[in-house]
Structure 1
Amino acid sequence: MKKVTFIFLLLISFGLLSEIKAQVAEISSPDGKLKLNIFSEEGKALYSVSFQGKIMLEKSPLGLTTNESDFSKNLKFINSKKDNISKKYSNQKIKKSEVEYKANTLTVNFINANQFNIGIEFQVSNNNMAFRYDIPPMKDRFSVVVQSELTGYRFPSQSTTFLSPMMKPMTGFARTAPSYESGYKADAELGAKSEYGYVFPGLFHIGNEGWVLLSETGVNSLYCASHLTATSEKNLYQVAYPDMAENNGFGSSGTALSLPGKTPWRTITIGDSLKPIVETTIPFDVVEPLYEVSQKYQFGKSTWSWILWQDNSMNYDDQVRFIDLAAALNYEFILIDALWDKNIGKDRMKELIQYAKSKNVGVMLWYNSNGAANDAPMGPRNKMSTSVERKKEMKWLKEAGVKGLKVDFFGGDKQETMRLYEDILSDANDFGLTIIFHGATLPRGWEVMYPNYAGSEAVLASEMLYFSEDIRKQEAFFATLHPFIRNTVGSMEFGGTFLNKFLTKSNKEKNKRLTTDGFQLATAILFQNPIQMFAVMPNNLNDSPKFQLGFMKEIPTLWDETVFIDGYPGKYSVIARRHQNKWYVAGINAEKTTKKITLNLPMLTAKNVELINDDKTGNTFIKTVSINKNGEYEVEIQPNGGFVLKN
């Protein structure tokens, strides 16, 4: 008895008893390594997350505010309920074609000062957690405006960040920002302020403890998209809603929600290494298709002239050359970019489409998303922004034989913009068209939600390599980040893999490429998108080595499996991907010295494979090498260089 009393007094003296009493629920992942604790303290709902007994997120706030009632304070815990979920699903457009998802679930219910209820649903799988708010009707109120969220992430003090800032709305080219094309700072200190916040996803390094990746998924027309913002508390980041200036100031920064209603999922991926970060499927695990697929859609590789030949190439003759290039490379598509409506016209476009069909090449066409959201002048304009014009245009597109569209210049995360994304996708499905978004926000589970969705940019992509010497100097640095951050949560339409030594039509004199051919070939594997617009040019058929062209002909864009091999964001990255029974291992190096590493490749144990790599002078070669009986292979990666292994 004395021992019990002593422990009781000890807990009081350290202030721990109140915390124990405040904990109202807990749940762990199926393997028991990831643990979630829920607290109710001083009228606030909080949560903390640990992995293998180590704190990865300290007590962090939960809650939201609406125009009808406040769920950020004066909350009283009611009850909790546990369950589990298990499902298998297939999706050819993501990093893994067959997925088995198992999670333990927890729902905690609170009541606020107005006696209105709110539920918080959690799904905890191995290395991943997703949660969202469930708002029931409020007496006679069956609709609310969700104004803000208290949702936060409080990191241990030793953490560093890998974040990309939101752009100032209605700035940049033709007032199209935010276009989600900012760079990253690697291993930055906690609490650095960005005036407009930081885009999802955000990566955090918890010192020697591990890694945390934050994002969101399940955003559709019923909600706005969100982002991260730093707070006055150095180690606390919170969910923030869109800036009012977005979308030309039109629309709400919050969300009009019918009740009962649910928010999108906030996702957290945690590991003691980067392997769970690269391999996570949580953005897709917790969402479902929103409509039936109207037909079987085709994905694959595409040529496009604009990336180096620019606006002047939007003419009939140049597009014939790129159709012929696609046919020579056995590519499924050609993308015909902006201004085709003016420079080619619909009548001659029908002729081009028929010519492409004769070469077994499908045509994709560029469209402006405008509307009144910004000043982007390129056409076709005002064809995607309203239901009547969109359906008329898509009817013509289907009759003409177009396979898909690339729709550009969105610039905002408001609910109104999310509705436009969904309307375009849904209507396009009715007419059998695939959709790629450019100048667009992060996809949030859309590969599953929308069957005809085929990728988004939402990254500092290949066109900036053409326009900016500074971005060319940082190409390798940013490329080593994408497999761990942007591309791990969604398809990324980058549009790269240049074989030209100079990023110009003439392939000489200016815009010299600062990365090796081996680097460029490696990014064709490192960057994942179901339709890849590669930057191969007609001149490359004659001026590039045959083995490089052979590689660009065979490389798939759909993957059955993705495996993290090695790397550190901003320094180097090595990823393996499998298509059917064929493995491709790719690595790149952003550091200033040669990187010598021993790769652990159990999938290639004791096999002879082809190696594409760079020598010390930067020349790229191919040879056959053997993986030893332990599945190990030592490779050197040159600065700004890369390699590929393939069986």
Structure 2
Amino acid sequence: MKRQIALFVLALGGTSLWAQQATVSGPDNLLKVDISVTDGNPFYSVTYRGKTILENSPLGFVSNVGDFSREMTYAGQKSRTVEENYRLDRIKRSEVAYRANELTVTLENAEKKPVDVTFRVSDNDIAFRYEMPRYGETGSIVIKREATGFDFPSHTTVFLTPQSKPMIGWKRTKPSYEEEYITDAPLTTRSQFGEGFTFPGLFRIGDDGWALVSETGVDSRYCASHLSDATPEGLFTVAFPMPEENNGNGTVAPGLTLPGSTPWRTITVGDNLKPIVETTVPWDVVEPRYASEHVYRYGKGTWSWLVWQDASINYDDQVKFVDLASEMGFKYTLVDNWWDTNIGKDGIERLVSYARSKNVDLFLWYSSSGYWNDIVQGPTNRMDNPIERKKEMKWMKKIGVKGIKVDFFGGDKQETMRLYEAILSDADDYGLMVIFHGCTLPRGWERMYPNYVGSEAVLASENFMFSQHYDDMEAFNACLHPFIRNTVGCMEFGGSILNKRYNRTNDGGAIRKTTDAFQLATAVLFQNPIQNFAITPNNLTDAPRPALDLLKEVPTTWDETVFIDGYPGKFCVLARRHGNRWYIAGINAGKEPLKLTLNLPMLSEGDEVSYYSDTKDRTLQTGKTRIKKPSGVKVTIQPEGGTVLVK
């Protein structure tokens, strides 16, 4: 394996200042990071195939132990090769071989206190973090702010979603990562709320390449961060939570014990979108936080709330959705808010028993509760209190509940990260899987927590009920998620809707603009190990039978994911493999039919495949065809429509 790691120390004539530089490249030498200290200021820059992806971007932080962002000097470096193979059954591929070159540069501040900046560079991914030793008798540190930045060339355009103002929205529950995207916008476009943008962020550097910026490895030992607005020169910096988040409770500045380290900031780079969609860097650089004695079963579930709403959270209606799950061969039914008053614990025990007689298990909804919002939907005041939380989880284990969906967090402070981790850890003690809703972006959590099975953290399906605007924008938004939100973590969207209208009787309310084939395609495009589909009992008789048959068979876990073609917000085609079976799915956000010639190397000449697509009048058509030329498979995707090929 070739490695290019060099250090150059050059004196600036006639002064005591130094320009210092170190370089680390990926294994194939195409992705390169230069780390430099100029006039005491630490920077890094990134090139790919010799083209600039990031210009000199600042490094460092300011803490209560000292300022590590200026008056810095080089003190040493060390390097190693990282090789790790791991298995993870809840991400886009089940077997991962991670290969990277690691360079750790030690810098000292004006007080001669050291900090390590560690960079790991693989063929298309960069991950870096700060690692702090114990400073004499000082055994803890508070990071007041980070200087960490991302300085893109001026011709870059952005695909970003804004960070919400805190304590706004439904019952003062924001921010909850549910805002609308700007796409291909100028680099210095200001965010809607003036609070910057959430991770991940996608950047197109003209014709030179693409970059996806995010973070991973956030747990109880740090806050979750986001991107600031760009300066007029195009510099984004890492921003901490806003003081008002979580009703002002908890500190903005994270504190950690020493020795300690920050989360990893990640940059995925390519001259096309394939490395962005297929990246595994959110999981490559993190480690499990605890082992589990439990074996968790993933799969599909039914969910009444999206279409039938709050009124459906009663025993009789939930029986109907258990029966629907049983008929479809799904593993789960999710019982949403208000079950504690409308069904009660005795009723839930009876419902669990009935569901198990139908080979179905239950997930139960909970509010995150606490002092940070005005939510009244129950159950409340259970998940925020460790004593009540454990009592509740003990009861759920006793009666056979398999998982929980916890909602309405509304903040990214370290205190909130502690709550996420505490819920996950306690739930694993009782054999419970956990879905988060109204929540932050997952940051490597699939590998860190064995019972974590998904987060919303996106403008998800529930919004289709609230405004026709979101239905009108469904195809556009769906063509963003595989490139941005869903590429860095599980996305519990709650989709694959077969009702034409968003009401119980399928004859009123908002109108679904996308086709049935589109909805089937998103069952493949949207990745989450627990998929709570929004089909309803009437779909057994009013939806096309082939659509139901495909939803019965489609997996929720994948052994391989391959990007085929697409552009964010316009169209997307992915191939995913489960075992030896391939599912190739595409959607079109445009207003005209999209004719594509696809290269599908996972298929062979003569293979018979099943297809699901739209006719010109937007009805579902299905059939079988034989592949003549895998490198030239022609498909037409209708406006706001989809296609699925299954081998």
Aligned residue for 2:602, secondary structure, equals helix
**Of 141, 146, 151, the match for 1:144:** 141
The 2-side partners of 1:642 and 1:509 are apart by 24
Residue by residue, what CA displacement relative to the aligned partner does 1:612-641 show, whole Å, maximum 9, x if unpaired? 111111111001122223432111111111
* 2-structure distance, mates of 1:139, 1:289: 30
Q: Does 1:587 align with 2:620?
A: no
The answer to whether the 8 A contact 1:436-1:455 is kept is: yes
Asked if 1:487 corresponds to 2:473, the answer is: no
Contact conserved, 1:303 with 1:331, CA < 8 A, in 2? yes
**1:91-114 residue CA offsets vs partner (Å, 9 max, x unmatched):** 110000000001000000111012
Counterpart in the other structure of 1:3: none
Q: Which residue of 2 aligns with 1:168?
A: 165
Change (3 A) 1:17 1:155: farther
Aligned-partner Cα distance in 2 for 1:260–1:115: 17
Amino acid at match of 1:190: L
For 2:621, the equivalent position in structure 1 comes to 621
For the 8 Å contact 1:366–1:405, the answer to whether it is kept is yes
The structural deviation recorded for 1:16 is 13
Distance of 1:339 and 1:630 partners within structure 2 = 51
Secondary structure of the residue that 1:307 maps to in structure 2? Answer: helix
Paired position in structure 2 for 1:111: 108
Q: Match for residue 646 of structure 1?
A: 646
Q: Provide the residue aligned with 2:6 in structure 1.
A: none
Match of 1:5 in 2: none
- State whether residues 608 and 627 of structure 1, in contact with CA within 8 Å, keep that contact through their aligned partners in structure 2: yes
Q: Distance in 1 between matches of 2:454 and 2:205?
A: 31
Decide whether the 8 Å contact of 1:297 with 1:434 is kept in 2: yes
Q: Which aligned pairs between 1:36-435 and structure 2 lie closer than 5 A?
A: 36-194=33-191, 195-435=194-434
Query: How far off is 1:405 after superposition?
Result: 0.2
**Per-residue CA shift, 1:486-539, capped at 9, x if unaligned?**
000000000001101111111013311101111111000000000000011100
Determine if contact 2:502/2:508 at 8 Å carries over to the other structure.
no
Distance of 1:16 and 1:470 partners within structure 2: 62
Are 1:230 and 1:237, in contact at CA under 8 Å, matched by a contact in 2? yes
The residue matched to 1:319 in structure 2 has which SS?
helix
CA deviation string 1:296-315 (max 9, x = no partner): 00110000100100000010
CA offset digits 1:394-445 (Å, max 9, x no partner): 1111001100000000011000000000000000000000000000000000
2 CA distance for matches of 1:542 and 1:231? 52
Deviation at 1:192?
1.5
Q: Deviations over 1:441-466 (max 9, x none)?
A: 00000000000000000000000011
Task: Report the 3-state secondary structure (helix = DSSP H, G, I; strand = E; otherwise coil) of the residue aligned with 1:574.
Answer: strand
| 1:580-608 residue CA offsets vs partner (Å, 9 max, x unmatched) | 00000000011111110100001112111
Contact 1:23 1:37 in 2 (8 A): no
Contact map agreement 2:368 2:408 (CA 8 A) in 1 = yes
Render the CA deviation track for 1:360-386: whole Å, top value 9, x for unaligned.
Answer: 101000000011111111000000001
CA contact (8 A) 1:497 1:524 kept: yes
For residues 408 and 120 of structure 2, the distance between their equivalents in structure 1, rounded to whole angstroms, comes to 35
What is the Cα deviation at residue 23 of structure 1?
A: 4.2
SS at match of 1:25: strand
The aligned residue for residue 552 of structure 1 is 551
Change (3 A) 1:457 1:615: same
The CA distance in 2 between the partners of 1:193 and 1:481, in whole Å, is 20
Q: Distance in 1 between matches of 2:205 and 2:629?
A: 35
Q: Specify every segment of 5 or more residues in structure 1 that has no aligned partner in the other structure, as ranges.
A: 1-10
Contact 1:605-1:632 at 8 Å conserved across structures: no
The separation in 2 between residues aligned to 1:193 and 1:546, in whole angstroms, is 47
Q: Is the 8 A contact 1:90 1:97 kept in 2?
A: yes
What's the CA shift string for 1:271-294, capped at 9, x where partnerless?
A: 000000000000000011110112
SS in 2 for 1:459: coil
Structure 2 distance, partners of 1:63, 1:36, is 16
Q: Any unmatched runs of 5+ in structure 2? A: 1-9
SS in 2 for 1:454: strand
Query: Percent sequence identity over matched residues?
Result: 55
Aligned length: 634
**Aligned AA (2:543):** S
State the Cα distance separating 1:139 from its structure 2 match. Answer: 2.5
TM-score (norm 1): 0.96
Question: Equivalents in 1 of 2:632, 2:104: separation in Å?
Answer: 45
Question: Amino acid of the residue matched to residue 276 of structure 1?
Answer: P
C-alpha contact 1:311 1:338 (8 A) present in aligned 2: yes
AA of the residue aligned to 2:593: T
Q: Given that residues 603 and 630 in structure 2 are in contact (C-alpha distance below 8 angstroms), is that contact kept between their aligned partners in structure 1?
A: no
How far is 1:234 from its partner? Answer: 3.3
Q: Which moved more, 1:135-144 or 1:206-215?
A: 135-144
Which residue is equivalent to 1:612? 612
| Whole-Å separation in 2 of the counterparts to 1:571 and 1:206 | 18
Whole-angstrom distance in 2 between the partners of 1:583 and 1:166: 37
Q: Retained in 1: the 8 A contact 2:594–2:638?
A: yes
Aligned residue number for residue 518 of structure 2: 519
TM-score by length of 2: 0.96
Moved more, 583-592 or 629-638: 629-638
Alignment partner of 1:230: what SS? coil
Asked if the contact 2:544/2:620 (under 8 Å) is kept, the reply is no
- CA apart distance, 1:50: 0.5
Amino acid at match of 2:103: L
What is the DSSP-based 3-state SS (H/G/I as helix, E as strand, rest coil) of the residue aligned with 1:397? helix
Give the Cα–Cα distance (whole angstroms) in 2 for the partners of residues 541 and 513 of structure 1. 18
How do 1:5-44 and structure 2 match up within 5 A? 22-44=19-41
CA contact (8 A) 1:603 1:631 kept: no
Q: Which residue of the partner structure matches residue 450 of structure 1?
A: 449
Distance, in Å, in 1 between the alignment partners of 2:270 and 2:13 is 28
Between 1:484-493 and 1:462-471, the stretch displaced more is 462-471
Question: CA 1:550/1:143 → structure 2, altered by over 3 Å: closer, same or farther?
Answer: same
Amino acid at match of 1:636: T
**Which residue is equivalent to 2:5?**
none
Change in CA separation of 1:17 and 1:568 when aligned onto 2, cut-off 3 Å: farther
Distance 1:509 1:396 in 2: 40
Query: How far apart, CA to CA, are the structure 2 residues paired with 1:427 and 1:540?
Result: 37
1:538-568 CA-partner distances (Å, limit 9, x unpaired) = 0000111111110010010000000000000
Q: Distance in 2 between matches of 1:636 and 1:17?
A: 68
Which secondary structure does the structure 1 equivalent of 2:486 belong to? helix
Residues in 2 aligned to 1:489 and 1:231: alpha-carbon distance in whole angstroms: 22
SS in 2 for 1:367: strand
Secondary structure of 2:388's counterpart equals helix
User: Cα 1:560–1:17, aligned 2, differ >3 Å: closer, same or farther?
Assistant: farther
Instruction: State the secondary structure of the residue aligned to 1:506.
Output: coil
How far 1:21 sits from its partner (Å)?
7.1
User: Could you tell which deviates more after superposition, 604-613 or 92-101?
Assistant: 604-613
